[in-house]
Structure 1
Amino acid sequence: MAQVSLEGIRKVYPNGFRAVQTTSFTIQDGEFVVLVGPSGCGKSTLLRMIAGLEEITEGVLKIGDRVVNDVDPADRDIAMVFQNYALYPHMTVRKNIGYGLKNRGTPAAAIDAKVQDAARMLNLTEYLDRKPAQLSGGQRQRVAMGRAVVRDPALFLFDEPLSNLDAKLRNQMRIEIKALQRRLGTTAVYVTHDQVEAMTMADRIIVLNEGRIEQIGTPSEIYHNPASTFVASFMGAPPMNLIKAELDQQSVRINGCRDLIHAPQSFDGPVTLGIRPEDVEVDEQGLVSFHVDILEELGAHRLLHGRIANQPFSVMLGKDDAAQVGETKINLKPEALRLFDRETGLRL
């Protein structure tokens, strides 16, 4: 296990493109950290710099107490699991898992023992003599993980490992990956564009946007207290409602309603108001008019999609709560409201 420290890390390609802007953070020993963001935000580039597959333009990268900027990937004591599994099709599962150990000159008896242990841990024992073509997608992903586990590395790196799996299998595999990391206690960095994966797997989440860090925090912090409108709209399914409002005499006004929440005394004027769909109550005596366009049944709950003052808005209700298409009234829970600067998008 190892702590990972990034101190002023930056990546600029020869053509001038800034893939990762100046970034500093520390991943604690044994922590599971998820890098999340849309395509092109720099998360995979950041992971590849940690792995040694991308040159660092500026800054210092430490794994444990060792500066590894100029250390080859093979000497960084890491194990990486890729999106495409990277298995050798002509080798059996047994040989795929043990291949890295064999290259390092590990004795055959030690390789066999480690492979057997990993196979038991990942429920692959009965598949050791099969080849990758004879396995399902989930089983191939377990083989890739097994190859990483037998290395007993200081650091696991996962680069969107579940993207090729169907939704049901992704759910199962993310539970297995998290359980495995907990069991081994190995520090892990996991890259994904799927905010559900990030929320369910991470000890801490790092949200990236256009090469810069928007927010670092626990899943609960990221969800309930987003630092910007980008984080608010990207994290959460469904995302946070974001609607235009005005601050007037230290209270928020939406479509003629007042006193929904007290505003910061140092700010006055146009803002963006954010609230999660589950923090809205349908109430015939409510303060805000809401026109419901679509009612979406999701089993355990239902979503109402519509408009407030011609702005898109969603409400989450329990499965037994009454709802119908058309005009209704709602109340916004004052303690759940979040205010953002209309121009910068940053939370006030």
Structure 2
Amino acid sequence: MAQVSLKNIRKIYPNGAEALTPSSFDIGDGEFVVLVGPSGCGKSTLLRMVAGLEEITEGELTINGRVMNDVDPADRDIAMVFQNYALYPHMTVRKNIAYGLKNRKTPKDEIERKVAEAASMLNLNEFLDRKPSQLSGGQRQRVAMGRAIVRDPALFLFDEPLSNLDAKLRNQMRIEIKALQRRLGVTSIYVTHDQVEAMTMADRIIVMNAGRIEQIGTPAEIYHRPASTFVASFMGAPPMNLIGARLEGGRVMINGDTVLATAEGSGAVTVGVRPEDVLIGAEGSIAFHVDIIEELGAHRLLHGRLADQEFTIHVGKDVEAAPGETRIALKPDAISLFHPETGKAL
């Protein structure tokens, strides 16, 4: 296992573009950390700097206390699983898994033992003599993971490994990767743009935006206590509702209706509330106009407008709802407040 530490890591390309602002965080032994954010936010660049595939402009990277800035990728004791699997098409599954060990001149009997262990762990025994072209996408992903496992690395790096799979297979592979990581106890850094992958797999999540870290926390912390409107809107499906409001006399007001009775300060504010933290019915104090009802089987999403602003409510399948005016209330203990200009949590 490995402890990873990044201190003020920064990436500037020769053309002057800053791909990553100075960033710092630590990863503990056996921890599964997910870097999540939209395309171009710097998450893959950061992962590649840890791997040694991208030069670090400033700052210090250490793995198990050893500075890695100028260490060759082959000497970092890491294994990387890529988006495109990077399998050799002319080799069998057995030879693909064994390739790295053979290059290291590992004894033949040890190679055979490790390949057999990895194949059994990943349910690949019956495919060992097939070529990658004869496998499904999920099976090819397992082969790529097997090739990483047999190296017994101190650190696993995953670069969007599930993005080429269909939705059903992604769900299955998420569970398999997390279960495998827990079984092996290997420290892992996982990059994705999919917030569902981040929420379901991570011990901790690092949310990135435009080359900077927006927030670091557990999935529950990220979801329930977002540090900014960006995190609030990026994490969650559907995302957190963000509504313009005003602070007046210790109350948060939307169109003259009180949505939070105890709050400090005055002036404009942005109110954030998750769709499932809204109560619908006669006890509600706020007018809400339902435009569209989205039936999703076990639950419904009510899309409409609150104070002329887009708003979504998540309700159970048994809750009666119809297009038109209704009354709602926001759960006071589930409301987040943000600065209307900076977007930072108050």
Match for residue 319 of structure 2?
321
C-alpha separation in 1, matches of 2:43 and 2:258: 41
Deviates more, 1:203-212 or 1:276-285: 276-285
Aligned residues of 2:302 and 2:314 also touching (Cα < 8 A) = yes
Match for residue 170 of structure 1?
170
Aligned residues of 1:274 and 1:337 also touching (Cα < 8 A) = yes
C-alpha separation in 2, matches of 1:326 and 1:149: 56
Match for residue 151 of structure 1?
151
Unaligned runs of 5+ in 1: none
Cα-to-partner distance string for 1:310-335 (whole Å, 9 max, x where unaligned) = 10000000111111111111011111
User: 1:85-164 alignment to 2 at 5 Å?
Assistant: 85-164=85-164
C-alpha separation in 1, matches of 2:51 and 2:261: 46
Match for residue 71 of structure 1?
71
Aligned residues of 1:340 and 1:347 also touching (Cα < 8 A) = yes
User: Which AA in structure 2 matches 1:305?
Assistant: H
Match for residue 46 of structure 1?
46
Aligned residues of 1:9 and 1:60 also touching (Cα < 8 A) = yes
User: 1:300-315 alignment to 2 at 5 Å?
Assistant: 300-315=298-313
Aligned residues of 2:52 and 2:73 also touching (Cα < 8 A) = yes
Match for residue 236 of structure 1?
236
C-alpha separation in 2, matches of 1:295 and 1:122: 42
- 1:236 Cα deviation after fit: 0.5
Any runs of at least 4 consecutive aligned residues in structure 1 with deviations exceeding 6 A, and if so which?
A: none
Aligned residues of 2:252 and 2:261 also touching (Cα < 8 A) = yes
Match for residue 6 of structure 1?
6
- 1:284 Cα deviation after fit: 2.1
C-alpha separation in 1, matches of 2:287 and 2:99: 64
Aligned residues of 2:288 and 2:326 also touching (Cα < 8 A) = yes
Aligned residues of 2:253 and 2:259 also touching (Cα < 8 A) = yes
Aligned residues of 2:13 and 2:19 also touching (Cα < 8 A) = yes
C-alpha separation in 2, matches of 1:55 and 1:197: 28
Match for residue 179 of structure 2?
179
Change over 3 Å in CA distance of 1:115–1:259 after alignment to 2: closer
Match for residue 248 of structure 1?
248
- 1:261 Cα deviation after fit: 3.6
SS at match of 2:138: helix
TM-score, normalised relative to structure 2: 0.99
User: Which AA in structure 1 matches 2:52?
Assistant: G
Identity across the alignment (%): 75
- 1:283 Cα deviation after fit: 1.3
Which one of 338, 343, 346 corresponds to residue 345 of structure 1? 343
Match for residue 292 of structure 1?
290
Aligned length: 346
User: Which AA in structure 1 matches 2:156?
Assistant: F
- 1:262 Cα deviation after fit: 1.7
- 1:274 Cα deviation after fit: 0.2
Cα-to-partner distance string for 1:20-42 (whole Å, 9 max, x where unaligned) = 00001001110000000000000
User: Which AA in structure 1 matches 2:130?
Assistant: R
TM-score, normalised relative to structure 1: 0.99
- 1:259 Cα deviation after fit: 5.5
C-alpha separation in 2, matches of 1:242 and 1:38: 19
Aligned residues of 1:247 and 1:269 also touching (Cα < 8 A) = yes
Match for residue 191 of structure 1?
191
Aligned residues of 2:20 and 2:212 also touching (Cα < 8 A) = yes
Aligned residues of 2:259 and 2:332 also touching (Cα < 8 A) = no
C-alpha separation in 1, matches of 2:211 and 2:160: 18
C-alpha separation in 2, matches of 1:92 and 1:185: 28
Unaligned runs of 5+ in 2: none
C-alpha separation in 2, matches of 1:281 and 1:8: 44
User: Which AA in structure 2 matches 1:165?
Assistant: L
SS at match of 1:258: strand
C-alpha separation in 2, matches of 1:235 and 1:20: 21
2:237 matches 1:260: no
- 1:260 Cα deviation after fit: 2.1
- 1:256 Cα deviation after fit: 1.1
Cα-to-partner distance string for 1:255-277 (whole Å, 9 max, x where unaligned) = 1102624223xx32101000000
